[in-house]
Structure 1
Amino acid sequence: MRIASALLATLLSLAVQAAPSPQASLDRSLWPEQLDSPALFDVASRAEILSFAQVLHESELLDDGALAGRLGLRQINLQKVRLVRARLWQRLWQGYQQAQRSCEQDASFCYPVTSMAELRTQAATFAADVGTFYTGWIEPSHQFHVRYLDEQLRKAALLPNTSSEVERLSNRERNGDELNDRMFLLTFVGGPGPDGGYTDTLTHYLRRQKLEGTFFVLGNRLQQRRDAATVQALRQLYRGQCVGIQGWEYRSHAQWQGWQDSLRRSQARVQADLPAQYVPLFRPPYGQRRADGEAFMASQQLQVSLWDIDAQDEGVLSAEASAQRVLTLMLLWRKGVIQFHDSLPKAQPAVEWLLRNTAQSGIGWEGCHAYGHREQGD
């Protein structure tokens, strides 16, 4: 009995260690200013960049064992963790440089930082002198960035055995880093939903807002919609939008022996039914794909389209909390590809909240056709 109890305790411990971090969001009402001008967007952006940089700096002080424990893993790929950290620092430095351009209009969170080394130094002491106006935001922001960083480092620690969106596997893969400052692309996955459901109301809403989104569809769900209605109904559903593929089923394409057939079938379905909406992009479910798949992707004239801002609207976060998470990451990265789930109920209210709260912030929304047909390096 004791042996069985000990074994059960061990298995429970392993399960806990294997579990990902709880989903993270940040209540934007804790930030004391509205983002109603480009300059105020930059103020909030500089603050989030410095807050995350502090957390990233703190993580570098952990030894291997402490980091593994924090991430809930027994073993970590330290080389990949360091590479991901280096890329994060590079993006932070690029973003902070962009956000400094409005310092003459509002000097909040403007420090004499002229190099990445100086950004690291500033990050180490950040939060010591931000002033009482921002006091209520400091600690919740720190906590959010700790959890968000853990999400990223945990995925890095599992590479290359478990691929994800935190690392490009070839130069044909895209993740939003190629966008211009303040530009964001709306993308949606896992659809289409049933006729008359959330996908329908979302695409109708986007058209009313004169916005374009890229919908990465599953071949089997698209087939179900086609069988239940007509091709014309499908074309009306996605009118004015873009449609890429996620494969025939929502499952990892990393170990699936039929992954090539999955892409071929779903690509053929979309090209036949939605030729005007089709874009040659593949969004791998869970971000998992094969490292040796580049030649096949090229033969199909497909590019892997990753994301760098995850709404996590499929989990426990409310629609508003999901939108607040997205906005915080938009401020942090200043550009990127946003991922929602169009067949679930939270995507549309989250997008509505996001548009209301960024309407005067000076950001822009990337056109899906221009992005979808752009060659890597353009």
Structure 2
Amino acid sequence: MRVALFLSTWLMCLGAMAAPNEPATLDRSTWPEQLNSPALFDVASRAEILTFAHALLATEALDENALKQRLNLKAINLDSIDSVRQRLWQQLLLNYNAAQQSCDQDASFCYYVEDMPSLREQAGKFVVADDSFYAAWAEPSREFHRRYLDEQLRMAALFPQIASEVAVFGEQEFNGEQMSDRLFMLTLDSGPSQSSGTTDWLTDYLRKQSMSATFFVLGNSLQARLGKTSEQAVQSLYKGQCVGVQGWEYRSHSHWQDWQDSIVRSAALVKQQLPDNYVPVFSPPYGHRRADSGAFFKSQGLQVALWNIDSQDMAASLTGEQSAHRVLTLMLLWRHGVIAFHDTQDKVRSALPWLLKATAQSGLGWQNCEAIAQ
């Protein structure tokens, strides 16, 4: 009966869906300044925050039918959309207040904002003049934030019937929004790759950068890697890094009958083979997990790691450079959080070095991977 109910709910959700649009990206070369100081990072951050806030405000004038049409959905959860909107506004206010602390050094995009009404007022009238120093960036940014906002609202419209990273279910879940300003955490999903593949390149690259990341591995991929090499080689592969789990297979854990076994088996394998690297954290593929799964994760001593900055590096339409540009734009917008790449995607080989170079002088911090379990 329970399985039949899951399948019925899943099919209903699929019936409400249509194909999403291509993921948003923004050519960062349209921005006329290098982010080579904390103050210049703040200038760009204020600009992205105001542009996104302007787009968010505009959606509040849309009724249910207009939202369905815009999001290309047959049915939407208006309460969920309103809840996500409110959370986004709160985050935007906090972020803009943080970004305007350097207005005495550079006043670009500094406006009177001290509370939510003043932020909404400034967002409503925000415009970049055609003869502005930033004119070449303005229209591409507007398009990026309109499309990125649609991504968020689309997930909100389907939540909680289709779970995603757009919201959390409880205290066992973490999405990076609680992190300190200018602090970011790097995560890599769906590995490990085959021997001498992207995982090998990434772990070596991160060690050379004196950085650590959390690698969320699949049990079957780790088992396959162990079958073709040795336990010592795998331990050497992840030296200095953290390893969490994504389950036994890269598939939705919302309506899979064996989802609990998937997590327990993969966690046991990682703890056995990588005891010094293991962190008790599960990252759900696609962000899909059950709304009532909190008790299970608590019983297993596991946290659920989500993300608020998605590279979309699995999208065929994005190159590695476009994926990196998307991540940087979202770092400017959200100013802290969890960044999700996939270490089975070769795109990260070009995206991550570009991202680190672009932000090297921006005053950002990279959280040690062990903190993800705390």
After TM superposition, the score normalised by the length of structure 2 is 0.94
SS of the residue aligned with 1:26?
A: coil
What residue number does 1:187 align with? Answer: 187
Distance 1:285 1:337 in 2: 15
Structure 1 residue ranges without an equivalent (≥5): 1-13
Does the Cα contact within 8 Å between 2:128 and 2:134 map onto a contact in 1? no
Structure-to-structure mapping, 1:167-182, within 5 angstroms? 167-182=167-182
Distance 1:130 1:360 in 2: 30
Opposite residue 353 of structure 1, the aligned amino acid is: W
What residue number does 1:31 align with? Answer: 31
What residue number does 1:6 align with? Answer: none
Give the superposition deviation at 1:15. 9.3
Distance 1:276 1:48 in 2: 40
What residue number does 1:345 align with? Answer: 346
What residue number does 2:11 align with? Answer: none
What residue number does 2:226 align with? Answer: 226
What residue number does 2:261 align with? Answer: 261
Opposite residue 284 of structure 2, the aligned amino acid is: P
What residue number does 1:217 align with? Answer: 217
Does the Cα contact within 8 Å between 2:188 and 2:342 map onto a contact in 1? yes
What residue number does 1:359 align with? Answer: 360
Does the Cα contact within 8 Å between 1:247 and 1:262 map onto a contact in 2? yes
1:119-167 Cα distance to aligned partner (Å, 9 max, x none): 0010011015586101111110000000000000000000111000001
What residue number does 1:147 align with? Answer: 147
Give the superposition deviation at 1:348. 2.1
Task: Say how many residue pairs are matched.
Answer: 360
The runs of at least 4 consecutive aligned structure 1 residues that moved more than 2 Å come to 14-17, 128-131
Does the Cα contact within 8 Å between 2:303 and 2:373 map onto a contact in 1? no
Distance 1:42 1:338 in 2: 19
> Against the structure 1 CA distance between its residues 130 and 214, is the aligned structure 2 distance closer, same or farther, given a 3 Å change threshold?
farther
Distance 2:62 2:290 in 1: 31
Distance 2:50 2:281 in 1: 34
SS of the residue aligned with 1:133?
A: coil
What residue number does 2:78 align with? Answer: 78
What residue number does 1:335 align with? Answer: 336
1:323 aligns with 2:324: yes
What residue number does 1:10 align with? Answer: none
Give the superposition deviation at 1:292. 1.1
SS of the residue aligned with 1:132?
A: coil
Does the Cα contact within 8 Å between 1:35 and 1:361 map onto a contact in 2? yes
Opposite residue 335 of structure 1, the aligned amino acid is: H
SS of the residue aligned with 1:186?
A: strand
Does the Cα contact within 8 Å between 1:193 and 1:199 map onto a contact in 2? yes
Q: Judge which range, 255-264 or 121-130, deviates more.
A: 121-130
Does the Cα contact within 8 Å between 1:109 and 1:130 map onto a contact in 2? no
Distance 1:44 1:70 in 2: 28
In percent, how many aligned pairs have the same letter? 57
1:188-236 Cα distance to aligned partner (Å, 9 max, x none): 0010010111111111111111110100000000000111111101101
Distance 2:134 2:372 in 1: 40
Structure-to-structure mapping, 1:1-378, within 5 angstroms? 18-129=18-129, 132-315=132-315, 316-369=317-370, 371-374=371-374
Give the superposition deviation at 1:373. 3.0
Distance 1:372 1:73 in 2: 35
Distance 2:206 2:188 in 1: 12
Give the superposition deviation at 1:325. 0.1
Distance 2:160 2:34 in 1: 41
1:64-113 Cα distance to aligned partner (Å, 9 max, x none): 10111000001110000000000100100000000010000000001011
Distance 2:92 2:24 in 1: 20
Distance 2:257 2:217 in 1: 20
Structure 2 residue ranges without an equivalent (≥5): 1-13
After TM superposition, the score normalised by the length of structure 1 is 0.93
Distance 1:196 1:296 in 2: 36
Opposite residue 336 of structure 2, the aligned amino acid is: K
